[in-house]
């Protein structure tokens, strides 16, 4: 079985984002970019399934700017077999919407015929949490979102999902779309020899136009602003003082 | 304009808080119809009918919808979409699972975690872990969205809407429910609690998390945790507060042994009063805390519990 893993190049999760003063967006010029953390978990899970003999090939896919090549090389260095880059924009500030990404992935899946797609549950930039579910809907496949455990058994998968109030286990028919939650696994680091080797692995470049998908955003961004800042607080010297303060403001 | 709001129904019971808050957002957009779906949903529908601002409640009861599997539920909602300008649900894990699927079936975008309604087409939502607020205008014919409940007030309950039973749909047969592992709790539900006490890596062990729980019980609070505490096994993962966990905005949030990483702040920085207890006076949590106390939590927390 072939596994397709969509990955996204996003601002590094440790970077404190800066909102541009003209309200046009978040400043991404000269900011450290990395693979979306949930996608690292997806790549890791796919590689583990290959190591376990369940998967035959792991294909990493990214949609966006040309620089997403670097993100795909990271996935190759972790252990993905080959990569596909779909160039959809030249501008790093253009975030392709989940609906358009899902449509491109659908077209790619028609070519690649994977038995399983593992995606991250959400990208830490747009915080949408939608692409996997949308892709599943467009394909008419089953879905298993927010997975913390994945077990492939013949023509179906048993997936434990993180839900409000606890865990839920469901059985989904293959092919399926799984989206990863944080506790699915601990992603590996790419070793230096593997990083060198990844440079030789196949990376095909395509364009969104080849798939005939309309990228016109359905949601027009009118402005991006900083959230309201909190007023500065105070430090108290003792538990007594803390309790007094909290009683003053009727918080306890 | 007509608005379809998906009621949050778990095991036949309506989550009144989540649904009521989403009604507050929905009321601004038009005439609100609440849809209650489940293996048993009639009781939940009767509850929903009492929420102020709800003009009609539709109920779909069938074993097929028992655990709100995404495929049958999304197919059902999409089949009922015509005639509605907006389809909303509170941002719970159920809704996050189902609503993007509904949107794609209708060939429209999803608006996730809406925190503000500007007008019928224009909405505000947080991006980058809540570090920026984006105002977006939808060009879609139907706006499908999830509502971040922590930013809307609960609607009143004195209404008496009509309840109407609706027919079920076919089972796509793509998935089945196997089991639930529900974390037992007598404490208030985390996302609707008035007070939340959270512990982080600084608590040090699962056993020591009892300190946090004792303080929480004294305050009648829900217990939360940082990702570090959850990953270290000190607390179950449904206690996690943050970008990838739950988003809370209680009247009082007490952060104990939590440094205040961006991802955690995304889940609690809209709390009315934030108290931080940490031994590191440089911890970023002190930048947003209204009251900070620097010191050893193992001395401070028991003393605080005793003095309340």
User: What is this model's ipTM?
Assistant: 0.96
Q: Give contacts of B178 with chain A, Cβ < 8 Å.
A: 158, 169-171
Instruction: Convert A29-66 to b/e letters by CB count within 10 Å (16 or more is b).
Output: eeeebbbbbbbbbbbbbbbbbbeeebbeebbbbbbbbe
Q: How far apart are CA B215 and CA B221, in angstroms?
A: 8
A12, A13, A227: best mutation site toward chain B, by most B Cβ within 10 Å?
A227
Residue in chain B lying closest to A37 (CA): B244
Q: How far apart are CA B259 and CA B262, in angstroms?
A: 10
The model carries a pTM of 0.96
Please state the separation of Cα B7 from the chain's center in Å. 12
CA distance B300 to chain A (A): 7
Q: How far apart are CA B108 and CA B111, in angstroms?
A: 10
Inter-chain contact A252–B128, Cβ cutoff 8 Å?
Answer: no
At A238, the pLDDT band (50, 70, 90 cuts) reads very high
Amino acid B182: pLDDT: 87
Q: Which of A221, A205, A212, A223 minimizes the C-alpha distance to A64?
A: A205
Q: What is the pLDDT of residues A132-159, one digit of tens each?
A: 999 999 999 999 999 999 999 999 999 9
Q: How far apart are CA A219 and CA B110, in angstroms?
A: 9
- Tell me if B142 sits within 8 A of B111, measured CB to CB: no
How would you classify the pairing of strands B2-6 and B31-38? parallel
Burial bucket for residue B83 (CB in 10 Å: 0-12, 13-18, 19+): exposed
Amino acid B169: pLDDT: 86
Q: What is the pLDDT of residues B213-223, one digit of tens each?
A: 999 999 999 99
Q: What is the pLDDT along chain B (308 residues), one digit of tens a residue?
A: 899 999 999 999 999 999 999 999 999 999 999 999 999 999 999 999 999 999 999 999 999 999 999 999 999 999 999 999 999 999 999 999 999 999 999 999 999 999 999 999 999 999 999 999 999 999 999 999 999 999 999 999 999 999 999 988 889 999 999 999 987 778 999 999 999 999 999 999 999 999 999 999 999 999 999 999 999 999 999 999 999 899 999 999 999 999 999 999 999 999 999 999 999 999 999 999 999 999 999 999 999 999 99
Q: Which H helix or E strand runs over A119?
A: strand A116-120
Q: How far apart are CA B227 and CA A146, in angstroms?
A: 15
The token pair at B162 is 């009509």
Identity of the residue in A13, A168, A233 whose CB atom sits nearest the CB atom of B291: A233
Q: Give contacts of B71 with chain A, Cβ < 8 Å.
A: 142-143
Cβ-based contacts under 8 A for chains A and B: 245
Sheet holding B195-199, edge to edge: A234-236, B291-294, B273-278, B252-256, B195-199, B222-225
The token pair at B279 is 């031994």
């Amino acid at each position: 079985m072939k596994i397709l893993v969509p990955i996204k190049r996003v601002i590094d999760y440790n970077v404190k984002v800066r909102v541009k003063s003209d309200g046009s967006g978040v400043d991404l010029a000269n900011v450290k970019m990395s693979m979306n953390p949930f996608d690292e978990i997806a790549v890791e899970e796919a590689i583990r399934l290959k190591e376990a003999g369940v998967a035959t090939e792991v294909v990493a896919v990214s949609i966006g700017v040309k620089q997403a090549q670097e993100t795909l090389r990271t996935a190759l260095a972790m252990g993905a077999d080959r990569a596909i880059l779909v160039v959809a924009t030249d501008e790093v500030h253009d975030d392709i919407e989940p609906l358009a990404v899902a449509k491109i992935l659908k077209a790619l899946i028609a070519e690649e015929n994977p038995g399983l797609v593992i995606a991250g549950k959400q990208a830490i930039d747009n915080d949408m949490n939608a692409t996997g579910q949308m892709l599943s809907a467009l394909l008419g496949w089953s879905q298993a979102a927010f997975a913390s455990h994945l077990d492939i058994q013949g023509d179906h998968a048993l997936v434990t999902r993180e839900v409000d109030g606890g865990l839920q286990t469901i059985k989904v028919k293959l092919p399926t779309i799984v989206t990863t939650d944080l506790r699915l696994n601990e992603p590996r680091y790419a070793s230096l020899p593997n990083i060198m080797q990844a440079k030789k692995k196949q990376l095909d470049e395509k364009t969104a136009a080849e798939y005939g998908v309309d990228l016109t955003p359905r949601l027009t961004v009118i402005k991006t602003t900083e959230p309201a800042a909190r007023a500065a607080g105070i430090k108290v010297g003792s538990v007594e003082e803390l309790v007094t303060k909290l009683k003053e403001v009727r918080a306890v | 304009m007509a608005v379809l709001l998906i009621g949050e129904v778990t095991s036949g019971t309506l989550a009144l808080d989540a649904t009521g808050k989403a009604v507050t957002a929905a009321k601004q957009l038009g005439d609100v119809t609440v849809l209650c779906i489940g293996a048993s949903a009639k009781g939940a529908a009767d509850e929903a009918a009492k929420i102020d601002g709800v003009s009609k409640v539709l109920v779909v009861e069938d074993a097929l919808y028992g655990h709100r599997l995404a495929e049958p539920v999304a197919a059902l909602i999409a089949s009922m979409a015509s005639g509605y300008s907006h389809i909303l649900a509170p941002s719970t894990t159920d809704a996050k699972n189902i609503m993007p699927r509904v949107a794609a079936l209708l060939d429209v975008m999803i608006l996730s975690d809406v925190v503000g309604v500007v007008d019928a087409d224009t909405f505000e939502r947080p991006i980058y872990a809540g570090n920026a607020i984006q105002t977006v205008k939808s060009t879609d014919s139907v706006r499908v969205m999830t509502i971040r409940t922590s930013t809307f007030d609960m609607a009143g309950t004195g209404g008496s809407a009509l309840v109407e039973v609706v027919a079920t749909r076919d089972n796509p047969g793509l998935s089945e429910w196997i089991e639930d592992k529900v974390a037992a709790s007598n404490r208030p539900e985390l996302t609707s609690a008035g007070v939340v006490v959270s512990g982080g890596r600084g608590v040090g062990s699962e056993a020591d998390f009892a300190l946090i729980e004792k303080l929480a019980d004294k305050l009648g609070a829900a217990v939360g945790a940082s990702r570090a505490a959850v990953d270290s096994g000190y607390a179950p993962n449904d206690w996690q507060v943050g970008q990838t966990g739950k988003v809370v905005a209680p009247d009082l949030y007490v952060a104990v042994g939590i440094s205040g990483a961006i991802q955690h702040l995304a889940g609690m920085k809209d709390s009315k009063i934030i108290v931080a207890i940490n031994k590191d006076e440089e911890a970023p949590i002190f930048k947003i805390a209204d009251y900070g106390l620097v010191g050893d939590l193992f001395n401070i927390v028991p003393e605080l519990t005793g003095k309340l």
